[in-house]
Amino acid sequence: MPSVTITHPGRLAILFLSGILAASPAIAQDDEEGAPSSTTVELQKLVAVLQSDPNATSQPCVDALTELHKTQDTLEAEQKRTNDPDVGVARDVLETDFETAVQSCSPDATALCEKNGNDPKLTRACMALDQPAAPSK
């Protein structure tokens, strides 16, 4: 597999974000179920595609992912405090940040899938992107 040289340091956010999205307790979740929301799952799929070529990630996508990461950090800090009334607000902001990131990154991922080369990992990520998210319960 050819190595990819990242020409813009901000695009490194794409590389570490996927692990954060999967492992962080501060991810957008469906109410009461504790499962990731469909928006979270969609963003995870987009990030999987974008990891194949971080240089193809637009600045609006990088900005949206950076803002999302900041909101996750804020929410995690607020969740550590007891009886903090701002947690609900932070969760709403986080959900909005996930939606913004999906809207900002979707065109980049779609473009990568359309010019799909011989990378089997990218092919699998693009196929997963085409699969609808599981319906919320």
* Per-residue pLDDT tens digits for 24-43: 545 545 444 455 788 888 99
Write down the pLDDT at residue 115: 86
Please state the pTM of the whole predicted model: 0.73
Read off the DSSP letter of residue 38: H
pLDDT for 88 equals 79
Q: Does the structure show a pLDDT above 70 at 76?
A: yes
pLDDT digits (tens, 9 = 90+) for 1-20: 444 455 555 555 555 555 55
**Which residues neighbour 30 within 8 Å (Cβ) at sequence distance 6 or greater?**
36, 37, 38, 136, 137
Given this model, what pLDDT does residue 1 score? 40
Give the contacts of 53 (CB within 8 A, at least 6 positions apart): 4, 112, 122
Contact (Cβ atoms closer than 8 angstroms) between residue 112 and residue 53 = yes
User: Do residues 7 and 54 make contact, with C-beta atoms less than 8 angstroms apart?
Assistant: no
The pLDDT of residue 81: 72
Q: Of the segments 1-5, 36-40, 59-63, 114-118, which one has the largest average pLDDT value?
A: 59-63
At residue 118, φ and ψ (nearest 5 deg) are -100, 20
pLDDT at 121 over 50: yes
Among candidate residues 24, 42, 6, 38, the one with its CA nearest the CA of residue 79: 24
